[in-house]
Structure 1
Amino acid sequence: MNHRLQTVNPTVKAVAVLCCVVMLSFIYNPYTPALFYIIIVAGVITAGRIPLKKWLLFTIPFFILAFGCLWTAAVFGNVPTTAGNLLFRLGPISVNSDNAALGVSIGFRILCFSALSMMFIFTTDPILFMLSLIQQCKLPPKLAYGIIAGFRFLPLLKDEIRIIRQAHRIRGAVTASGLKGKLSAFTRYTIPLLAGAIRKAERTAIAMESKGFTGSRNRTYYRSVTVRGGDWFFFLLVLLLFSASYAVSLFFL
């Protein structure tokens, strides 16, 4: 069963994410991105039905990056430390409130960017996204279907690498240890993979041409992607929640 976020038009969802990213880029107070991040996480877990364990697992690298940016901005900030803004001193390192606020703002901004990106990735079908770009954004069908075909080939590459490795082992081609051995194995795997990809691309091009695909925009679609009222409601709701986060943060400034 599809959940609410999964049914939103992919293009509308992408535009909403892009608008939030642009607006967050011009906000430097720490409260707005912090409040908006809480809203994003709560909305994705409830409306998108994303498992909390999966969300936390993918968030760990961004937490590390956010903490690194927070620490760097707090310790090496441009605002000089005085008796009035000093938070704490750790040996030769002094952290003041102005630099710490900037670091928290940058850290939560990174978390917001990552949360918006993961929301889009976890709740969007890539095929529907490309079809939406064709039908709503007038993306050239040749480019879009080429990307879709390449996306379909990715799982096949894993199977081909496995087959090539087994074939090399049968013939006694043992991969040596160390950097030189890995480079040699990379060369042995790359050429067969490239040859196989070229053959698949030729067969795909012939199949598309035989089915009457010319790349023209004047065509019908097996799967029609439309923009409904619920999609516009999602777009306005995201902007409203962001505006509410900014309005609430004004009381803390």
Structure 2
Amino acid sequence: MLNNWKRYYTFIDNVNILTKLLLGISLFFFAIFIHDFDFMLYLTIVMFIYLIFMSGVKWAPLLIVIAITLFFGFTSSLFMIFYGEGSHTLFKFGIINITSESLMRGLHVTMRTLVISFYGMVIPFTSQIIYVFYSFMQHLKLKPKIAYAFMASIRMIPIMFTSFIQLRQALKMRYQVVDKSQRKGLKWINHLLIPTLSQSIRKSHRLAVAMEAKGFTNGKRTYYYKVPFTINDVYFIIMSILLVILAFCLGSFFPITNITDIR
């Protein structure tokens, strides 16, 4: 599905998924210890631009994902904004007490969420799910039996969705000759979910038996796909470091709020 969203490809599409995950985790812990408001503000802007240009995704799905991220990023800080402490009150109504200090702390938490989200969204947009598990098998020594089971289960998701749609359409036809009392509420759910679950269980069992018969065990095996570390991984690491340095320099030389410690 993600491949259908792509407009163009960048060198990040050829970076090993382990490199992306390692840098994403590193950025997560690094962002926790950033207390400079201007640094975080510029880092959010830089990561937003990075997402726009390096994801290669069409505008419609990209804007939807960004809107959802902004919504959850802002709502995650509402508790701190509404009930924070501070001496300069901006708005007070009942138990809600918004101060300038709580507002800035809440915005800081929001930007921290956005930085990690914007950087992290590039990972699924530039990675193929099959290469994720191949990389885990080849570099992290994940057991092939487990990796192939996950890949097979992911491949079954669209099959399950198709079965669900077909069953729903079939029920619409059958309900034309069925009394309304027998197709409302929980009965409709039972008519739809139970057959879907039973079909999924049967397909999963057949898949497991087929994998055992084909020799998908924990022993050593050769791989059709090779997922090595390349020069693109080095470029990606350098680019990620430069993005952080750029945000730091902008926050140092062009401060907006001059808040160096938001705690």
* TM-score normalised by structure 1 residue count: 0.83
Alpha-carbon distance change, 65 to 194 in structure 1, aligned in 2, over 3 angstroms: closer
Identity %: 26
> Secondary structure at the residue paired with 1:115?
helix
Shift of 1:59: 1.6
Alignment partner, residue 24 of structure 1: 31
Alignment partner, residue 151 of structure 1: 154
Question: Which deviates the most, 132-141 or 152-161?
Answer: 132-141
Shift of 1:32: 2.7
Alpha-carbon distance change, 132 to 117 in structure 1, aligned in 2, over 3 angstroms: same
1:33 and 1:109 in contact (8 A); partners too: yes
2:11 and 2:232 in contact (8 A); partners too: no
Alpha-carbon distance change, 72 to 166 in structure 1, aligned in 2, over 3 angstroms: closer
How many residues align? The count is: 245
> Secondary structure at the residue paired with 2:184?
helix
Q: Distance in 1 between matches of 2:35 and 2:185?
A: 46
Alignment partner, residue 223 of structure 1: 225
Shift of 1:176: 5.8
Shift of 1:226: 0.5
Give the 4+ runs in structure 1 shifted more than 4 A: 89-95, 173-177
1:30 and 1:108 in contact (8 A); partners too: no
Shift of 1:152: 0.4
Shift of 1:70: 4.5
For the pair 1:57 / 2:57, whether they are aligned, the reply is: no
Alignment partner, residue 232 of structure 1: 234
Alpha-carbon distance change, 127 to 175 in structure 1, aligned in 2, over 3 angstroms: farther
1:16 and 1:239 in contact (8 A); partners too: no
Letter in 2 for 1:98: E
Q: Distance in 2 between matches of 1:66 and 1:198?
A: 37
Question: Which deviates the most, 206-215 or 66-75?
Answer: 66-75
Of 47, 51, 55, the match for 2:54: 47
2:84 and 2:97 in contact (8 A); partners too: no
- CA deviation map 1:122-176 (0-9, x unaligned): 1111111111111112222222111111100110112111222233334337696
Alignment partner, residue 3 of structure 1: 10
Which consecutive unaligned segments of at least 5 residues does structure 1 have?
Answer: none
Which consecutive unaligned segments of at least 5 residues does structure 2 have?
Answer: 1-7
* TM-score normalised by structure 2 residue count: 0.80
